[in-house]
């Protein structure tokens, strides 16, 4: 790919990355970072598979940020990978989502290394922000301390 394309994509997705990192998410950008995190994963972790699509921008990210801000019970850890941008990191994270089809955007709530709750794109796209927040709150209430 051309250097101009790479620069354009970096500039385009920076705010999309920052929407989560500015709200407490740690970005895992390489397979090694994913492995290092998952090797020591304890408690609950909310994993966001971020994306450039409209449903990520208009629904998923705003709902996730608001759900965490307003939840009584919250995950112990917040991490994100970026589908289509950090492809190898995303592929590595998806290896931990046993039996779940790749979907982006998507959200996984892990207990240790195991998926306890999963929200695929089909439960984001075409839904209201409030529905996604309710889905996340229900999962937090069930699985988080």
Sorting pLDDT into bands at 50, 70 and 90, what band is 6?
A: confident
Catalytic residue among 9, 55, 116, 129: 55
What lies within 8 Å, CB to CB, of 125 at 6+ separation is 55, 59
pLDDT in tens, 68-112: 999 999 999 999 999 999 999 999 999 999 999 999 999 999 999
* Annotated domain spans of the chain: 3-143
pLDDT tens-place string over residues 17-76? 999 999 999 999 999 999 999 999 999 999 999 999 999 999 999 999 999 999 999 999
**Nearest-angstrom CA–CA distance, 3 and 22:** 27
- Has 144 been annotated as catalytic? no
Residue 55 designated active-site: yes
pTM for the whole structure: 0.95
* Of 20, 48, 53, 64, catalytic: 53
- The confidence band for 1, taking pLDDT boundaries of 50, 70 and 90, is low
The CA distances from residue 11 to 30, 52, 60, in Å, are 19, 12, 21
Write the CATH number of the domain with boundaries 3-143: 3.40.30.10
């Amino acid at each position: 790919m051309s250097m101009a394309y790479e620069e354009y994509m970096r500039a385009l997705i920076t705010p999309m990355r920052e929407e989560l990192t500015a709200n407490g998410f740690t970005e895992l950008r390489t397979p090694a970072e994913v492995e290092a995190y998952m090797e020591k994963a304890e408690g609950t972790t909310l994993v966001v598979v971020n994306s450039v699509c409209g449903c990520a921008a208009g629904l998923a990210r705003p709902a996730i940020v608001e759900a965490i801000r307003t939840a009584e019970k919250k995950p112990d850890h917040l991490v994100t990978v970026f589908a289509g941008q950090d492809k190898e990191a995303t592929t590595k994270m998806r290896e931990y989502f046993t039996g779940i089809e790749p979907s982006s955007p998507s959200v996984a709530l892990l207990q240790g290394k195991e998926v306890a709750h999963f929200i695929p794109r089909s439960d984001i796209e075409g839904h209201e922000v409030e529905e996604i927040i309710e889905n996340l709150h229900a999962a937090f209430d069930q699985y988080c301390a």
